[in-house]
Every structure is written in C-alpha cells, then in structure tokens.
Chain A
Amino acid sequence: MTTVASPAISSALRELRAAVTADTNYVLALKLTLVLLLLYGATTGAARIPVRVLCGVMLVFPTLLQQAFLWWLLLAALVGANLQVWFTIDNHKYLIMYWALACALSLHFANPAAYLGWTARVLVALVFGFATFWKFLGGEYVDGSFFYWTFLTDARVLRVAAFISGLPPDTIRLGSEAVGMAGTLGLNNLSIPVLASPTLRMATLGLSWLGLLIEGCVALTHALPTRRLYVLRHSALMAFIAMTYFLLPVSGFAFVLTVLGVAQCREDDSAMRWRYIVLLGIVQFVILDWQALLPVD
C-alpha cells in the first residue's frame, strides 16, 4: 500500500508545486483571496449568497478572475453584509474587507502586482502596529494578567492551562463558571478568588512577552521598506501565524495573513510562495482538538 501511495503522493506534491509556481504571484494572490472570501468573507445569511456565487464563478472561470466589475460587486456584497454587524464582527473581517478593496483597486493600476505587494506589507505593518499599541495601552497584557485570565477562562486553552499548572481541567473550569454565574446573577462588587498557580503565572508572563516580541518584530519589519529585511519579514510573519493560531485558533485571521504574505513574495521567489501554501495547509488543522493529546489528569 505504502509503495503505491508514496509515488502517488510525491507526484501530487510535484504537480501542486508546479501549479503554485505556474501562476504569477499576482494571480495566485487573487485566487487565494477568492478562497478566503468564500470561506470567511460574509457573516450574515443573505449576503453570503452573492459572495459565494461571485467567488465561485471567478474561480471556476479564470478569464473572469481579473474582471474589475466583479471585484467591485464582490466588495459591495461584503461591505453590505458586514456593515450591519460592524460592532460584533471580529477584527480579521475588517482586514479581509480592506484586502478585498485593495484587490479591486489593483485592477486599475498598470503594475497591479507591485501595488498589491506594497499594500499587503503596509496593511500587515499597520495591523500589527495597532495590535502592539493596544497591548501596551491596556496594561493587562504586559504584566501577564491578560493571558493568565485567558488561560483560566477560555475553553480553547483549558487543557494547556491544566498541563502547565498541573491542576485538573475541572478545577480550572470552576473559576470561569463562577464568574459566569456571578454575571448571570448580577452579583456586582463581589470578589471571586481566582485560581493561584505560580507556574501558570510565570508561563503566561513569558508567553505574553514572547507574543509581544514577535508582533513587534512583524510590525517593524513590515513598516521598514528596505529589501534587506525581506527574509526576516516573511520569517516573522510565518512564525507568528504558526505559533499563535495553534494556541488560539482563529483560522480566518491565519488565512488572510497568509494571503498577505503571498502577495509580498518576490516574483522570482517561488520557494517562499510554496512555504506559504504549505503553511496555509497546515493552519487548516487548527480546528482540530490537538490539545486533547496533552497528558492531563
């Protein structure tokens, strides 16, 4: 079985790699954007229909891929859907809308690839710049208390918290349940003791600063236009995507950041493009409950 499967898998990977390098970077970025919009674009019910139809049509019929009118229509559907719920949609939906606007605008430039690559770099710099700014502004992040609270109350990282602290998940979960119950009962000004774990405290402080370091690095390398930072820029972005979204899975954000990374690749750098495609495949696994593998009581 394996002797039959191995050549088949190798052949498929070779074909995939050839396909990735066959398209220009610009065309690949547009196609990936359409997949992004298909999966994570519209949130509300009715508006998903035009988004799905337009993305499907433009992906199935390559001649329509660079039709400006269709991109503007797509953008209109996207904005129309998300504007109604601007106060509840996640921040990556905003980034997706900005990127869709950039794709639509790019079709009006003589050098669309250069425009899109530049815009991608600037968008990443701004997003990470604002994210870093907020982490210093609140005060709860730099002292580790934000991550400490998150690890105690967010179900997505419950097993990681249990693994680090050595405490059973049920014990950790009691804290968030107590706060939720206090909220339900409207018990304001009641002090609820939170689980004290020095190990978890130190780990979350370390994670906070590691996250800050990587985010700051991404922001800075993307803000500076010098070509010497090309490799560091992409390395920092890929490291951020791989580390962050396996811990706190937000697959839409991982996808859009990956597309922005692809758009910045040099035309002759097919290896970097391929790395992003592989990363895109790997981040799809963030939705799996890999944390169940952690040995916890």
Chain B
Amino acid sequence: MNRQTFVPSSAHWWPQLWSRALTLLVPALLCLIAAAQVLAANYGTLSPWKGGGFGMFGTIDGPTNRFLSVIAVAAGGEEYRVSVPFGRYRRPAAFTSSFMLKLRTMPRRREMLELAQAVLNSHLGPSDTASSIPPHLALSSLGAVLQGGHDRRRVMQVLGPRRTATSVEVRAVRVEVLRVRFDPASQTAQLVTFIAPATVSGGKSQ
C-alpha cells in the first residue's frame, strides 16, 4: 500500500493513523464476519452456505439439504407426523416461511421449542395431502427403499394456529432437525439427526 496514495481529503485534522484505519475498515470487516461465520458453522449449527463466510459450493450442508421432522404424541400415546404449512399463517411467528428458513439455516434449541409449542397450541387434523410417495417414485427402485423405511405413522397437518374443540388431543410435540449425509464410497445418501430432538409437553419443554 502506497502511503502517499491514501491521503485524507482534510489532512489537517485527520491523523494518518485514522486514515490507515479507514483504509483497512472494509477488508477488516469482511475478515471479522467471515471468521465469525467459520466458527459458527464449525462449532455451532450455522450452515456453511450462509452468514458471509463464502463457504457456498464447498459442502453439501446447505439449508436445502436440511429437513425438519415434527412428531405429535396424542393423549393415547399414538404418534403422528405433523405437516406444518409454513407461510400460510402470519401468526404465530413459528409458522412463517422466514422462521422455517432460519430453523434450517441455523437450528437452535430455542426456535425448535418455539415451533413445538406452536404446534402443541394448534388445531391439528388429518392431512389432505397425505404426504404419500408420488406414483412415479413409488414404482422405482428408490420407491421400494422409501416404503421400506416409511414408518406408517399417520400424517396430521396444522389446520389453524389455535386449538378448537375438534382438535386432536396432543400431549407432546417433538421437533428434530435432520441433515443429508452423502457417502461417496457406498454411493448412498442418508438423513442423520443434526440437532437432538426438542420436546414440549403440556407446557413443559425438554
């Protein structure tokens, strides 16, 4: 860096040190934020694709390869898989698209519990989409693999943000974040638990 190049426009009251500090401000900011992102991605849950660390296209661990699993436990002990229509409701905040994105990009226990609580407080009913395997996929060899792993739990969906008299009686809700892991040696992909399940039951959270 040529010292003579970056002379401040008002050299009388800006000391040269201040001028150098201003010169280095932008690169320093980038380094600071990128370093924080590296730490957050490697020691926290932030996806390497986000946060200003420039880790995109370096790993498959992007938000699109992370999934949310929501399980409701009914009063009788039955478990249901819950489909949350993110983006359909503005309240509670846990049902918005941006909340879902945040949960996939940087899952934290706090938000997982918030989602579980919101589902616990909601009106659940049978799912109209059924989350079944599409026919063209079901007929393929991959369909057989999926059906072999399908746990046969009924799928419920959030029909409204408030519980009603006709709501299914749910005792607890469990939220889990899954991540895709690709093994090039065996040429297989697997969904693995990324964050341990967060459970909310009758007002108590775990």
Given the complex of chains A and B, what is the CA–CA distance between A85 and B11 in angstroms? 39
A33-41, A115-123, A265-273: which lies at the B interface?
A115-123
A residues less than 8 Å from B101 (CB atoms): 87-88
User: A98: CB under 8 A from chain B?
Assistant: yes
For B, the interface residue count at a CB cutoff of 8 angstroms equals 76
Contact A141 B149 (CB under 8 A): no
Contact A140 B60 (CB under 8 A): yes
Looking at the assembled complex, report how far the CB atom of A86 sits from the nearest CB atom of chain B, in whole angstroms.
7
Q: For chain A, what secondary structure do more than half of its interface residues adopt (helix, strand, loop), or is it mixed?
A: helix
B residues less than 8 Å from A183 (CB atoms): 67, 178, 180, 191
Contact B22 A108 (CB under 8 A): yes
Contact with A along B108-145 (1 / 0, CB 8 A): 00000000000000000000000101101100111101
Contact B81 A190 (CB under 8 A): no
CB within 8 Å: A-B pair count: 222
User: B161: CB under 8 A from chain A?
Assistant: no
Contact A185 B146 (CB under 8 A): yes
Instruction: Tell me whether A114 and B6 are in contact in the complex, defined as CB-CB below 8 angstroms, given that A85-B98, A191-B190 are known contacts.
Output: yes
Instruction: Tell me whether A188 and B51 are in contact in the complex, defined as CB-CB below 8 angstroms, given that A87-B46, A183-B67 are known contacts.
Output: no
B30-38, B87-95, B162-170: which lies at the A interface?
B30-38
8 Å CB interface, B173-190 against A: 176, 178, 180, 182, 184, 186-190
Binding site for A on B (CB under 8 A): 1-2, 5-9, 11, 19, 22-23, 25-27, 29-31, 33-34, 38, 42, 46, 48-61, 63, 65, 67, 69-71, 81, 98, 101-102, 105-106, 131, 133-134, 136-137, 140-143, 145-146, 148-151, 176, 178, 180, 182, 184, 186-193
6 A-B pairs with the lowest CB-CB distances in the bound complex, closest first? A183-B67, A186-B69, A138-B59, A190-B149, A134-B55, A134-B58
